[in-house]
Amino acid sequence: MTANPSGPIGVFDSGIGGLTVAHAIKQAMPNERLIYFGDTAHLPYGDKSAAAVQAYAVKIADLLIAQGCKVIVIACNTASAVANELLKEYTASRAKVINVIEPMVTKLAVRNPRGKVGVIGTRATIASGIYGRLLRQARPGIEVAELATPLLVPMIEEGFVQGRIATDVIGNYLDHPQLAGSRHLVLGCTHYPLIRDEIAAYLGAEVAVYDSSLVTADYLQNYLEQKKLLADRPVTQPDHFYISDYTDNFARLAKRFFGGDVTLEEYKLWE
Ligand code: DGL
Ligand 1: distance of its center to the CA of 91 in Å?
A: 22
The verdict on the CB of residue 76 being under 6 Å from ligand 1 is yes
Peptide bond between residue 140 and the one before it cis (omega within 30 degrees of 0): no
pLDDT tens column, 215-233? 999 999 999 999 999 998 8
The domain ranges of the chain are: 9-99+215-266, 102-212
The verdict on the CB of residue 38 being under 6 Å from ligand 1 is no
pLDDT tens column, 142-195? 999 999 999 999 999 888 999 999 999 999 999 999 999 999 999 999 999 999
pTM: 0.94
Q: What angle do CA 28, 61, 54 make, to 5 degrees?
A: 115
Burial 93-106 (b: 16+ CB within 10 A, else e): ebbbbbbbbbbbbe
Query: What gap in Å lies between CA 146 and CA 215, rounded to an integer?
Result: 19
Task: Please identify, by atom number, the ligand 1 atom nearest to the C-alpha of residue 100.
Answer: 4
Pairing label, strands 264-266, 240-243: parallel
Q: What angle do CA 202, 203, 209 make, to 5 degrees?
A: 115
Task: Please identify, by atom number, the ligand 1 atom nearest to the C-alpha of residue 14.
Answer: 9
Same fold, 9-99+215-266 and 102-212: yes
Catalytic residues: 76, 189
**CATH placement of domain 9-99+215-266:** 3.40.50.1860
Pick the CATH number of 102-212 from 3.40.50.1860, 3.30.430.20, 1.10.3720.10, 3.40.50.300: 3.40.50.1860
Amino acid of residue 179? L
